[in-house]
Structure 1
Amino acid sequence: MSTPLLDQVTSVKVKLGLLVAVSVTVASILAAVGAVGTVPLWLSIPVTVALALGVTQLLAVGMTSPLREMTAAARGMARGDYSARVTASSSDEVGELARAFNRMAEDLAAVDRQRRELVANVSHELRTPLAALCAVLENLVDGVAEPDPVTLRTALDQAERLSALASDLLDLARVDAGEVRLSTTQVPVLELLERAVAEAQVSSREVQYDVLVTPSDLAVPADPARLHQLIGNLLDNASRHSPAGGVVRITAEATSTGWRLEVADEGPGIPAADRDRVFERFGTLAEADGGGGTGLGLAIARWVTDLHGGTIHFVDPAPRSTGARVRVDLPREPLQPTPVTRKAVMTKPVDSPAPSGPSTPAVPPKPAVPSAPAVARVPEPGMDMMFGKFWPEAGLSGNLRAVLYCLGVGLLAGIVLPYRDLGLGTFVVLLAAGGVILGFSVNRRSRFTLACAALCLLLAVTVVVRDAEWIVVLCLLAGGAVCMAGLVNGRTLPAFVLAGIAWPLAGLRGLPWLGRSAQAVKGLRASAAALRTVLWSLLGLLVFGVLFASADALFAEWAGAIVPDIELDSFVLRAFITVAVGGVVLAATYLGLNPPNVETGSGPTRPVARRYEWLAPVLIVDAVFLVFLAAQATANFGGHDYLERITGLTYAEYVHQGFGQLTVATALTLLVVWAAARKAPRATAADLAWLRGSLGLLCVLTLVVVASALYRMHLYQEAYGFTQLRLLVDVFEGWLGLLVLGVMAAGVTLKASWLPRAALLSGAGFLFLLAAINPDAWIAQRNLDRYETSGEVDWDYLQGLSADAVPVLATLPADVAGCALTGHEPSDDDWLEWNFGRHRAEPLIRSHPTATNCVSKPAG
């Protein structure tokens, strides 16, 4: 993993300041460059914001990841997993916190390991004497053995062993709990050693004890009970491992810093590499192995030493001697135990080297670090916490290929789109973008997604076939909506809305994924080498090409024929378009790779408890529709005079006034049907009958309203002419009527899961069919038909139609054709701007001169 850029900064405040300063500077430079390149604001602002966010993400890498790793590691510790470690590469406060967290995790892991070992070892030590004691008692109970002194002595030995183990464990518990306090007095060392030797000799072990104290009257300040416990455990260990007839030598002497005690035996000894481990609880190496002890003697000796502030360790035996030799160095004044000392007792490592002489009171050493600590996984980065369950990103790895493909589409758009009208080049860019988006979509095998992709392709074809920008733009917007719905594989209207919202949000949600994709470059050494080669080659070509072009006119002409003349403002505009289109395609690609949970929370709703709660509002709406239709019938049968006498409006004004309201009413009716169908209970046959009857009546009345609205618009267009907006609302009203029919079909089967997808695809399909009939040509033809019958026409409006209408307008008589074609100029498109509508209109425009004496009669 690459080192974050701000890791060497030692303050979080400074990092945040640098982050803000760099982001603002980048945004300002981009805004200034966009202004110099005359980039429009609608393109400059989103590109500037996107690049500033990218720079922020790049600089902010590693600032908060240790905190998220600590959260994940803490959750693991709560479950008993202490292996996680936090990446601590930064030098600021967060990095220091991460390193402190790692040290704490190491301490907790050591403590947990020792706790587990303690439980296992205690269980093992208890099992042996208990098993022996149970066996003796069973023999006595079964009559197999007699209760003679030998048998009873065996049972007593095992019971004493259990008692000794319990006593040792109690001592250790007191030490760990910090309850052991030293009660120091002046202790004569020689007297203490002789008393300890006398007690050791009672054990009936066949060893001899040699005591030497220098000076003989040596007295030290210590806790006599604890010091006796220390010496007793050392003598017990030495005697158990000495051979029969061996000698255990005990020496004590004053030193410059305190006094030293040594106990040496003639046993097998302890290897130097294992000398510190025998002080662990239940140590099983060499001297601590066998002999019938509890396995806690040396551990208690070590903790008593630590309580006095001294050190204990095994050293090499004396010259020409064998066996083990333990050395205890104690200070002149013993130290009272502190929490730090207890921690040292609990976490002292097993692999630290034995000290060679007296030292200061023990400082808790750093616990042994696990050989391969696991790095804490970060399951919830900042974006995961922001988007929650709506948009998780579990297991999504980086995809450098997807990023490069999207960048290629953006570069293609930057080359093709600027300074060109919609045409073949635009279609090529759309086709490339759609191929990349669909190719990386996880739902690309879904039938609905494939249907959406096919419909998007048909809608994209309009940029090549039609010159009317209004219908082409609508088709492209519809194609974008259909594309998003297909990528998320949505099934409901809220899912489609959320998919549309998720597209721009993908630019933010996908930033971590983009970072992971960029990090993949470091593993592609061959590709990196090829990229460096290309960059150096282009630099050489540019430098020497410019030099030779400025030095030789013929070379400059040859170069000009190959290289396009790109000025500064053109380069800036192309760069902005590259970033904008590439970013939009990349956001859609991420949406396809990791679609959000758009269906979350769209489950069935609880119906109302009483039927009238939903039925009464529906019946009232039915009644209003019936009254409205009665008014419509009265107006139709009463005639124009009756309508003008009652309302004061002409019939044309009357039909124009109500069309918009009827369209809104139709849309609201669909909302009423949707809400009622969700809330109506369906438990009984009566419930279903009322549901079908009331909503079915409402749908039938709505169809009548749709027919009335279309009839009104027809009359209005006959009176005042045909326009693009009027044709579009006609199509929209017809689509609403189709949805009403779909709702009626769903009401029959009471299954409407197919309806949202059908509504989406049919709406986009209606737009495509509208583009297919050549709407501008259709409008021109209807206006010319009206011109022939009434002599009224709006030449200004016809002149504003696109080149799609030129073939129809050219059919006018020569004396008026020029009026309709005024404003249309022959196109000088290159092959990337080729468009069927402009191509077909060009020869007709050239063959008809423009007229200057055209008088318009507005169409209302």
Structure 2
Amino acid sequence: MTSQPLARVASLKVKLGLLVAISVAVAAVVASIGRAAGVGAWLSIPVTIGLALAVTQLLAVGMTSPLRQMTEAARRMATGDYDVRVTETASDEVGELARAFNRMARDLASTDRQRRELVANVSHELRTPIAGLVAVLENVVDGVAPSDPDTLAAALAQAERLSGLVEDLLDLARVDAGKAPLNPAPVAMTGLLEAAVAEARVLGRAVAYDVHVEPDDLVVHADPARMHQLVANLLDNASRHSPAGGTVLVTARREAERYVVEVLDQGTGLAAADRERVFEPFGTLRATEGSGSTGLGLAIARWVTDLHGGSIRFVDPEPGTRGARVRVELPLVPPDRPTPTPTPTPAPRQEAPVSSNVPPYPPYPAPAPRTAPVPSPPILDDLFGSFWPATGVRTRIGLVLAAVAVGVLASEVLPDRSAGIGLTLLLLAGGAVVAAASKHRRDPFTLTCAGLCALLSLVPMLRDADWLVALSIAAGAATCIVGVCRGRTVPGFVISGASWPLAGLRGLPWLGRTLAGVPGLGHGAALIRTLVWSALLLVVFGALVVSADALLAEWVGALLPDLSVDMFVQHTFITIGVGGVVLAAAYLALNPPRVDLPERPARPVANRYEWLAPVLVVVAVFAAFLVAQATVVFGGHAYLQRTTGLTYADYVHQGFGQLTVATALTLLVIWAASRKAPQGTPADRLWLRVSLGVLCAETLVVVASALYRMHVYQEAYGFTRLRLLVDVFEGWLGLLVLAVMASGIALSVSWLPRFAWISGVVGLVGLAAINPDAWIAQHNIDRYQETGRVDWLYLQELSDDAVPVLAALPADQAACALNGWTGEDDDWVSWNLGRARAADAIDDLPQGRGIADEWSAALCSDDVAD
């Protein structure tokens, strides 16, 4: 079981105060250390929050688990399972409540067990006389047996036995419910015992009765009817177990403020281990069924004794005698309000001394529960509910170790290094951890996303453009999360992305269980003490030994990195931050949430015009746009300038952004129309296909117009990264329009969201494949050669991916385009194909790397076009 650091604190309020104080202190210390070491807020804030939550989880273990256990136990008890128990480790108010709950559960379990046994025993006892009575009557009715006095006497005996059983059960029920009347009156013990003996002789058993009362005139206060019932049951029990010709000894005597009644038979006696079981209702040690016993005599005797505030038990016979000796100790005056107690659970106990005034029937311990304590439902289950259940998630220490290893790799790869092969290896390692954790790793969609993530992970090694690397990493991470969550809808994609940071919180209980399963890690305080003392001894003795031996000092210097305090802190933050992010993604893959919300049924409108009119409005607007475009095409640029006062370049610049937005909005219009349009009849489906088909066709023309406008604008004003991204985005929207048209044929759109996601990522991979910075540089150079206009300052801002293109220019132009290029001497961790090709291209020039120092101010300033 996981240790509970605050288990000994006896107040819940103090626990909460300590929890808040320690968590805030840890957060403040971690944040201060990170700020002093120069760690950026983008890293220090999440790491600080994560560590504070981890400390809170560690300290809060077990604080509220008994409450959650009680909730679960109450649900199980409502179904009849009374063997559940909750943990009682806490010392505070919650722990006291848990102990009270367990006592209540034990009492309910005992009561339920007695109820079941009583029902079973009563059914068994009633069956015997009823079966006998039915058999006798059937024989008489069928003529098998005559209806003579002997037959009727046998039937009467069975009926009397049944009546006696019912009367005993009624007495038992009244006493057990506390409603049995008790009417104390002076009772002469001699007369009471003689009357009871006289009644016992009527039973006709071959035994003698010997009565002794000391003193002869002993008078007590008791309920005469109940006392007669008590003695009669004891005599009945003794006469049945005495041999023929035996004697039943009945004595009554006064001892101080109490009086004692004893009944001794001459039977085989009763073993000490069985002396309590005979007082159970329908006890297993009663006489055989044929003896006429109902099995309730001694149970009623005990309840009558308890009703008078006394005690009853079997004791050893006097030396030289044998048989079963039952002793009843009663007060001379019964209590004013006796409290009847239910039949206790039998258990062996030591006999109390005869002279003791303390009732010898202490509360019997309840039997141990047959089941283990009810498990505590994680507290986060109430927060996440059915959206993200955590049942059945097995612990995997390998995932934790792998995430820590990725964090350590990140601390070596990321600080003070440019993106390169090291970052690619880091991304591939993180993706491998997530893939190994995924429970759907063989799903085709998950495999496709994994392949795209692997391709995007190569971008930091192949391309130097920071914007492309950042975009690829973001898209790869999103694709990885969508793949392991297996989203199918646009809201599912959004929820998948939001689930990643939430996984850090949702996975804390799983992380705690995983660490608790490792030998030694389940005891947090002991582990911390061990680590602190081990580190202290290592530092002290290591420093002494290293300073004493020069060779050992050289070895240690070669093995240990030269880390300053700030660098160590920075590496620690990166390890925790990246490792935590990877571990959260791994938990998300191991236990993905239900990201796809239940699809709401479409609510078609009643009238066709309600959805068709808005669609036709958009169709008409696009038709007007297409007419305007045709007028420009046939009227020429002169007509355009004469009519609008704009050049064609200004005209196309004015509209491509709006057309891109219009294309995206058109997809929303198509989605809304497909939800609202009724599809019950062939005519409804035909109208839907035709209207949306026309709208999609017009949208494709709008997409083509937007792409053409962007091309014209770029030819006039140059090529940039943003304009290239707009081209790619507009082309992707056109592909989606084609997909919508294809889905409209079958009126099935369930595959569209995944197709949109995969095609978008594939488009990004294709963008990285064409080397966008080099593509932009080449097209700007081509434009420069045609028009003589170029923005040298913008070319200087391009990444090293464009250097091979710029280095191919004439020397003076190359010197202008490459002004400010410094080059980097990367180690193997930072090696990048784009920077390597740039360095090779510069080194191949006659001027070598000195070309970057040749600056032609006149050329570079005169040729800036925009």
Normalising by structure 1, report the TM-score.
Answer: 0.95
Cα displacement (A) at 1:676: 1.8
Aligned to 2:480: 483
Q: Which amino acid aligns with 2:69?
A: E
SS in 2 for 1:849: helix
Residue deviations 1:709-729 (CA, integer Å, cap 9, x gap)? 111111111121111111111
Cα displacement (A) at 1:812: 1.6
1:851 aligned to which of 854, 862, 866: 854
Written as runs of structure 1 = structure 2, the 5 A alignment for 1:452-851 is 452-522=449-519, 546-547=543-544, 550=547, 556=553, 559-602=556-599, 604-845=601-842, 846-851=849-854
Q: Say whether residues 1:272 and 2:272 are aligned partners.
A: yes
Range with bigger deviation, 362-371 or 229-238: 362-371
Q: Which amino acid aligns with 1:580?
A: G
Answer whether contact 1:188 1:219 (CA < 8 A) is retained.
yes
Q: Which amino acid aligns with 1:237?
A: N
Q: Which amino acid aligns with 1:848?
A: I
Range with bigger deviation, 729-738 or 751-760: 751-760
Cα displacement (A) at 1:162: 0.5
Partner Cα separation in structure 2 for residue 232 and residue 9 of structure 1: 58
Cα displacement (A) at 1:142: 1.6
Partner Cα separation in structure 1 for residue 789 and residue 199 of structure 2: 132
Q: Say whether residues 1:328 and 2:331 are aligned partners.
A: no
Answer whether contact 1:410 1:579 (CA < 8 A) is retained.
yes
Aligned to 2:144: 144
Partner Cα separation in structure 1 for residue 497 and residue 393 of structure 2: 22
Range with bigger deviation, 458-467 or 362-371: 362-371
How many residue pairs match? The answer is: 854
Q: Which amino acid aligns with 2:139?
A: N
SS in 1 for 2:835: helix
Aligned to 2:61: 61
RMSD: 2.5
Q: Which amino acid aligns with 1:719?
A: A
Residue deviations 1:807-850 (CA, integer Å, cap 9, x gap)? 11111211121111112112021110000011111244415232
Cα displacement (A) at 1:562: 3.9
Partner Cα separation in structure 2 for residue 197 and residue 533 of structure 1: 79
Answer whether contact 1:397 1:516 (CA < 8 A) is retained.
no
Cα displacement (A) at 1:781: 1.1
Partner Cα separation in structure 1 for residue 36 and residue 760 of structure 2: 42
Partner Cα separation in structure 2 for residue 472 and residue 62 of structure 1: 45
The change in CA–CA distance for 1:544 and 1:810 in structure 2 (over 3 A counts) is farther
The change in CA–CA distance for 1:165 and 1:537 in structure 2 (over 3 A counts) is closer
Residue deviations 1:49-73 (CA, integer Å, cap 9, x gap)? 0111011111111111111111111
SS in 1 for 2:663: helix
SS in 1 for 2:518: helix
SS in 2 for 1:220: strand
Cα displacement (A) at 1:548: 5.5
Partner Cα separation in structure 2 for residue 11 and residue 302 of structure 1: 44
Q: Say whether residues 1:36 and 2:60 are aligned partners.
A: no
Answer whether contact 2:439 2:590 (CA < 8 A) is retained.
yes
Residue deviations 1:566-596 (CA, integer Å, cap 9, x gap)? 1111111111110111111111111111111
Q: Which amino acid aligns with 2:384?
A: F
Cα displacement (A) at 1:800: 0.9
Residue deviations 1:384-439 (CA, integer Å, cap 9, x gap)? 11111111112112111111111111111112211111101111111111111101
The change in CA–CA distance for 1:381 and 1:337 in structure 2 (over 3 A counts) is farther
Answer whether contact 1:349 1:368 (CA < 8 A) is retained.
no
Residue deviations 1:254-312 (CA, integer Å, cap 9, x gap)? 12242111111111211100101111111121568763210011111111111111111
The change in CA–CA distance for 1:347 and 1:507 in structure 2 (over 3 A counts) is same
SS in 1 for 2:263: strand
The change in CA–CA distance for 1:143 and 1:129 in structure 2 (over 3 A counts) is same
Aligned to 1:225: 225
Q: Say whether residues 1:302 and 2:305 are aligned partners.
A: no
The change in CA–CA distance for 1:523 and 1:18 in structure 2 (over 3 A counts) is closer
Partner Cα separation in structure 2 for residue 171 and residue 228 of structure 1: 14
Range with bigger deviation, 811-820 or 110-119: 811-820
Unpaired stretches in structure 2, ≥5 consecutive residues: 843-848
The percent identity for this pair of structures is: 62
Answer whether contact 2:428 2:454 (CA < 8 A) is retained.
yes
Partner Cα separation in structure 2 for residue 563 and residue 54 of structure 1: 30
The change in CA–CA distance for 1:614 and 1:469 in structure 2 (over 3 A counts) is same
Range with bigger deviation, 197-206 or 53-62: 197-206
Cα displacement (A) at 1:648: 4.6
Residue deviations 1:686-732 (CA, integer Å, cap 9, x gap)? 11111111111111111111111111111111121111111111101
Q: Which amino acid aligns with 1:302?
A: R
Aligned to 2:72: 72
Q: Which amino acid aligns with 1:514?
A: L
1:376 aligned to which of 371, 374, 377: 374
Q: Which amino acid aligns with 2:792?
A: W
Partner Cα separation in structure 2 for residue 467 and residue 434 of structure 1: 22
Written as runs of structure 1 = structure 2, the 5 A alignment for 1:360-399 is 360=358, 365-370=363-368, 372-378=370-376, 380-399=377-396
Answer whether contact 1:816 1:851 (CA < 8 A) is retained.
no
Partner Cα separation in structure 1 for residue 363 and residue 11 of structure 2: 29
Partner Cα separation in structure 2 for residue 593 and residue 74 of structure 1: 31
The change in CA–CA distance for 1:541 and 1:625 in structure 2 (over 3 A counts) is same
The change in CA–CA distance for 1:373 and 1:311 in structure 2 (over 3 A counts) is farther
The change in CA–CA distance for 1:274 and 1:647 in structure 2 (over 3 A counts) is farther
The change in CA–CA distance for 1:92 and 1:534 in structure 2 (over 3 A counts) is closer
Partner Cα separation in structure 2 for residue 454 and residue 859 of structure 1: 43
Q: Which amino acid aligns with 1:738?
A: L
The change in CA–CA distance for 1:376 and 1:288 in structure 2 (over 3 A counts) is farther
SS in 1 for 2:853: coil
Aligned to 1:159: 159
Cα displacement (A) at 1:507: 0.6
Partner Cα separation in structure 1 for residue 528 and residue 739 of structure 2: 56
Partner Cα separation in structure 1 for residue 829 and residue 78 of structure 2: 63
Cα displacement (A) at 1:558: 5.4
The change in CA–CA distance for 1:807 and 1:256 in structure 2 (over 3 A counts) is same
The change in CA–CA distance for 1:29 and 1:524 in structure 2 (over 3 A counts) is closer
SS in 1 for 2:517: helix
SS in 1 for 2:210: strand
Answer whether contact 2:351 2:360 (CA < 8 A) is retained.
no
SS in 1 for 2:519: helix
Partner Cα separation in structure 1 for residue 776 and residue 688 of structure 2: 43
Cα displacement (A) at 1:644: 4.3
Answer whether contact 1:270 1:286 (CA < 8 A) is retained.
no
Q: Which amino acid aligns with 2:63?
A: M
Partner Cα separation in structure 2 for residue 212 and residue 732 of structure 1: 113
Answer whether contact 2:710 2:723 (CA < 8 A) is retained.
yes
Q: Which amino acid aligns with 1:778?
A: W
Answer whether contact 1:784 1:793 (CA < 8 A) is retained.
yes
Aligned to 1:402: 399
Partner Cα separation in structure 2 for residue 202 and residue 548 of structure 1: 103
Partner Cα separation in structure 2 for residue 259 and residue 288 of structure 1: 33
Unpaired stretches in structure 1, ≥5 consecutive residues: none
Partner Cα separation in structure 1 for residue 56 and residue 15 of structure 2: 11
Answer whether contact 2:234 2:263 (CA < 8 A) is retained.
yes
